Amino acid sequence: MEAMTESMTVMPERDAEGYLIEPGDWNEAVAEVLAQDEAIQLNDDHWDVLRFMRAFYEEHQVAADARFVIKHLAERMGREAQKQLFVLFPYGYVKQACKIAGMRRPRAWSTG
């Protein structure tokens, strides 16, 4: 079924690094394909982060800084939130979380 999902998902245009050109083209099926590209198997904690990021983007029209995501996670995970964010996205918040959430690559942020 996973291979079928990928082949049926029409992927929006992406930049050379794999970030969506237009964040409005994102949906959860697109997120699944982007996560596969990053070798991440999405679980409930991943989805919690991704949905928070999307809601933040819808409200502010900008990608959430990692500190906002950590604050959100801390409501459930306490002091382990920052560590957990990097367990969920081991190659970095910008490199993986922002990409999978359908954000444009933030220009001013490092990829770490």
pLDDT digits (tens, 9 = 90+) for 34-69: 999 999 999 999 999 999 999 999 999 999 999 999
Domain CATH code at residue 50: 1.10.10.370
Confidence at 4, pLDDT banded by 50, 70, 90: very low
Cα radius of gyration (the chain): 13
Long-range pairs for 61-66 at CB < 8 Å and ≥24 separation? Answer: 63/98, 63/101, 63/103, 63/104, 63/106, 66/93, 66/94, 66/97
Asked whether residue 68 is assigned to any structural domain, the reply reads yes
- CB neighbourhood size of 8 (10 A): 8
Is residue 46 within 8 Å of 52, Cβ to Cβ?
A: no
Q: How many domains does the chain fold into? A: 1
Residue 60 covered by a domain: yes
Selected residue with higher pLDDT from 51 and 105: 51
Tell me which of 107 and 17 has the higher pLDDT.
Answer: 17
Look up the pTM and report it.
0.86
